[in-house]
Structure 1
Amino acid sequence: MSENPSIALIGPGAIGTTIAAALHEVGRTPTLCGRTAHPQLELRHDSGKIIVPGPVLTHPADIAQPFDLVFVAVKTTQVADIVAWLAALCDENTVVCALQNGVEQKTQLAPYVNGAAVLPSVVWFPAQREPDASVWLREKPRLTLPETPQAERVVAALRDTRCSVDLSADFLTIAWRKLLQNAVAGLMVLSNRRAGMFQREDVTALALAYLQECLTVARAAGAALSDSVPQEIVDRFHQAPADLGTSILADRQANRPLEWDIRNGVVQRYGRTYGIATPISDVIVPLLAAGSEGPG
């Protein structure tokens, strides 16, 4: 690989725009690929804004050769829509960094990347799309990656940017911890409320019970999570701005498909695999699935 690796990004939504802006700010502007030919991307943050020049490419046929590093920032519900992009952007020398939710990123993307290495990640920052199509970054961006040779390519690309990168020898545990946080956020969809809802004592009690269920499944899957994790996650929601949303809530309010399976259904599925009862998931998952897919 050259000293200046070629970088592409699929999916310039909230997370994708944040990463693209971090790269552009230090002179490593990625090739942008997506559904809509935006002339530019705009990231707003506490001290100003960053404009990433476009255009966003919309036709995989415009890609002349594979890239060294490809960030995938589409939701898991959209993977089928980017198969042509992955085929054009990837070969066996590419590293594909999945900026996606869940603990199954590698198995989801591996069939489509022409033998490229798929690198999962955990995204630790809230960014939300605004009505004017800009993105509002509400906290300092940070990624966690597994401690592997492929991760060094991402570390190098994001070095000296506003997005920090942590490497973990126990990535599985960290990925499951984030999944627990995402899973309990599904309650916001069912109530159609933002983070302020967790101030209710009854919602706090439900969240803690659900997180305990998720924790049991996560441990069976190999995650080394402590007993304190459910309370820590609920405390974080208590401390969040009352108007803080989540991507799955935004999708529900826009009547888009929901990532219910990768965020919530996975707990139910793994519970069945390990013979663990999941009574709360057995209520939550069908309701989220119906909210996503109907009928009705």
Structure 2
Amino acid sequence: MSPSVAVVGPGAIGTTVAAALYEAGRRPRICGRTARDQLELQTSHGRIVVPGPVQTDPAQAGGTVDLVFLAVKATQVEGAAPWLKALCGPDTVVCVLQNGVEQESIVRPYAGAARVIPAVVWFPSEPQPDGSIWLRDEAHVTLPDRPESRVVLDALRGSWCAVELAGDFTSVAWRKLLQNAVAGFMVLTGRRSGMFTRPDIAELALAYLRECLTVARAEGAVLGDDVPQQIVEVFQTSPADMSSSILADREAGRPLEWDIRNGVMQRRGRAHGIATPISDVLVPLLAASSDSPA
């Protein structure tokens, strides 16, 4: 029997997961801030319509579930706390579909007795003007190899969203964080992936990623010297108009996840006595882009 599932936060990531569940024959509860009759995901294989409604009142959540996919940004976790309270029991697993390496420490205070597991999301999905989501590539998720991750495996079994378990989840999570961190350059330039083909931007990105790599290794990640170049090449070979969630938030005037994507590099670097000169410039600029009054 498949686990009962709720998706909290039907944005780009949440809609993608809800669509994968629905296509596999599951009907997740969908919980968010805005009432909607349905969710729509556009893929290379066509459009998937996930029936709603999107529930907006935690008091009407319908009781606890086996699995909660928490797909809100780190800046929205406190706002999602009523949903976690309504949906989580002692046997619930909360799978945090969120950027960064601090998902557990951020979400655990709001999850009660539920078990919280982090995830690394490997799919580019972007909101469209009509309210639908465009999934630009194949979808898969990496989880730590723990017993509670089996609930996520069961929920997504047979779907087109692959799930892999990593024995060294720390290294996987920090590698993805490096990729997310350098995407912060998009906020400061207002440009998309195509800008990384500029030699000066590529050089600066490599220097920043090497700084981040030193921090990641101090945190226990096992990553090779070639990782910075690999990440820059990912941006260089992506469609020139490929965006990122942090740029989309900047364009929409929303708070940015600058702290969990970039501030963490500076914070953890200082804790290990590692110099982070590029972070020391980048982080205040990103913070100002998000939090300044004007």
Q: TM-score range by the shorter chain?
A: over 0.9
TM-score by length of 1: 0.99
Deviations 1:60-91 (A, max 9, x none): 00023111000000000101110100000001
Deviations 1:126-180 (A, max 9, x none): 0000000000000010000000000000011101101001110000000000000
Could you tell me which residue of structure 1 aligns to residue 45 of structure 2? 47
Choose which of 2, 5, 10 in structure 1 pairs with 2:3: 5
- Distance, in Å, in 1 between the alignment partners of 2:172 and 2:29 is 30
Question: Gaps (5+ residues) in structure 1?
Answer: none
- Distance, in Å, in 1 between the alignment partners of 2:183 and 2:84 is 30
Could you tell me which residue of structure 2 aligns to residue 208 of structure 1? 206
Matches within 5 A, 1:53-132: 53-132=51-130
Q: Give the aligned residue type for 1:11.
A: G
Choose which of 31, 36, 39 in structure 2 pairs with 1:38: 36
Matches within 5 A, 1:17-36: 17-36=15-34
Q: Give the aligned residue type for 1:154.
A: V
Aligned residue for 1:280, secondary structure, equals helix
- Distance, in Å, in 1 between the alignment partners of 2:276 and 2:201 is 18
CA contact 2:246–2:257 (8 Å) conserved in 1:
yes
- Distance, in Å, in 2 between the alignment partners of 1:268 and 1:208 is 17
Quote the offset at 1:29 in angstroms: 1.5
Q: Give the aligned residue type for 1:191.
A: T
- Distance, in Å, in 2 between the alignment partners of 1:102 and 1:179 is 6
Aligned residue for 2:165, secondary structure, equals strand
Could you tell me which residue of structure 2 aligns to residue 295 of structure 1? 293
Matches within 5 A, 1:88-237: 88-237=86-235
- Distance, in Å, in 1 between the alignment partners of 2:74 and 2:252 is 17
- Distance, in Å, in 2 between the alignment partners of 1:58 and 1:122 is 27
CA contact 2:184–2:247 (8 Å) conserved in 1:
yes
Could you tell me which residue of structure 2 aligns to residue 277 of structure 1? 275
CA contact 2:2–2:154 (8 Å) conserved in 1:
no
Q: Give the aligned residue type for 1:160.
A: G
Q: Give the aligned residue type for 1:5.
A: P
- Distance, in Å, in 2 between the alignment partners of 1:241 and 1:99 is 24
- Distance, in Å, in 2 between the alignment partners of 1:276 and 1:114 is 35
| Cα RMSD (Å) | 0.6
Aligned residue for 1:121, secondary structure, equals strand
Aligned residue for 1:295, secondary structure, equals coil
Q: Give the aligned residue type for 2:245.
A: S
Aligned residue for 2:183, secondary structure, equals helix
Quote the offset at 1:295 in angstroms: 2.7
Q: Does 1:267 align with 2:265?
A: yes
Aligned residue for 1:222, secondary structure, equals coil
Q: Give the aligned residue type for 1:110.
A: R
- Distance, in Å, in 2 between the alignment partners of 1:191 and 1:64 is 45
- Distance, in Å, in 1 between the alignment partners of 2:101 and 2:183 is 16
Quote the offset at 1:232 in angstroms: 0.3
- Distance, in Å, in 2 between the alignment partners of 1:189 and 1:114 is 35
- Distance, in Å, in 1 between the alignment partners of 2:62 and 2:95 is 20
Deviations 1:253-278 (A, max 9, x none): 11100000000000000001000000
Question: 4+ runs of 1 displaced by more than 3 Å?
Answer: none
Q: Does 1:239 align with 2:237?
A: yes
> In percent, how many aligned pairs have the same letter?
62
Q: Give the aligned residue type for 1:38.
A: R
Q: Give the aligned residue type for 2:206.
A: L
Q: Give the aligned residue type for 2:41.
A: L
Quote the offset at 1:47 in angstroms: 1.4
- Distance, in Å, in 2 between the alignment partners of 1:130 and 1:206 is 31
- Distance, in Å, in 2 between the alignment partners of 1:5 and 1:192 is 42
